[in-house]
Amino acid sequence: MALEVRPMWEGSFGAEISGFDMTRETGQEDWRRLVGASHTHGVIRLRGQKADPAALLRLASRFGTPVPHILTHFHVEGHSAVLKLSNIVTDGKQWGIYDGANYWHTDMAFEDPPGAATIVYALKTPRQGGATRVADMYAAYDELPDAMKKRIDGLVVLHHYGNRDDLDENSTGSASKLTDEQKKQVRNVFHRLVRPHPVAGRKALYGVSGSSFGIVGMPDDEAIDLLNELKAHATQERYVRELEYGPGDIAVWDTSCTLHAATPLAPVDSPDDPMARLLHRVSVKGRSPLFS
């Protein structure tokens, strides 16, 4: 079956990919279409795949270089670049990141170089709920008033690990809690507020929520006010979609042109619970080798 790219939602944001099977050989041109669709549409989804951690990493390597996440205690054993996301808690132990992504953020924006894409594979999905909210930062930038575009083009933003809207590390609205050793790795990094996509070239707002804590050369209160204004603009209903998963589905969002937030789920104590969720996630950095 030939690879087909079609709209996932109304408009150009999001694409559904059909005709792709991870268990079969894929030609170079189809790989380019697949990865290119993520650059153009921001989010892509592939239904009904079979992917163990090694296969997921092979897929992810088409989008960039897979990198380990700072939350080392949630890595899949033997695969440091595969992270577990889950609401399953057994005997007081979390199976994966549970409540640390329920706010608008950009994955790996707190690192330099930042993340290029996030790839998730659904092993278990709840009977209802559990979608990821994603927001289109291409459109959010395009629809800013010209005066605001002129004001923000060229601004550089300070990022570090955390959620600027909730700094209580024990809160369900904060970033996932770090160990003392992991906290020693956190540092300030700097990224442009308006970033042309490294492959597509189209401008997008970048990291206006979550890990952004200041703007170079701007008083802190003024910087936070501007970032909050841009966040409110960028997360309006017209830019946001619900990305839903079923078991076996793979989703990719390009972190250069999206914001996202997990939908909260209550914890469950068994993987057999109908409301259990377990995802494997890989973050990649750099350009796709297909577009070098």
Each of the 292 residues of the chain gets a pLDDT tens digit; together they read: 689 999 999 999 999 999 999 989 899 999 999 999 999 999 999 999 999 999 999 999 999 999 998 888 889 999 999 999 999 999 889 899 886 688 999 999 999 999 999 999 999 999 888 899 999 999 999 999 999 999 999 999 999 999 999 888 888 788 888 888 888 888 999 999 999 999 999 999 999 999 999 999 999 999 999 999 999 999 999 999 999 999 999 999 999 999 999 988 999 999 999 999 999 999 999 999 999 8
Q: What is the CATH number of domain 4-291?
A: 3.60.130.10
- Strand ranges for 47-112 from DSSP E: 65-67, 75-76, 79-86, 89-90, 93-94
Measured distance CA(230)–CA(148) in Å, rounded: 10
Q: Hey, which residues does 204 pair with through a beta bridge?
A: 195
* Nearest CA-CA partner of 97 in 22, 46, 172, 42: 172
Phi and psi, residue 86, nearest 5°: -165, 155
Supply the pLDDT for residue 98.
Answer: 80
Supply the pLDDT for residue 174.
Answer: 85
pTM of the model: 0.94
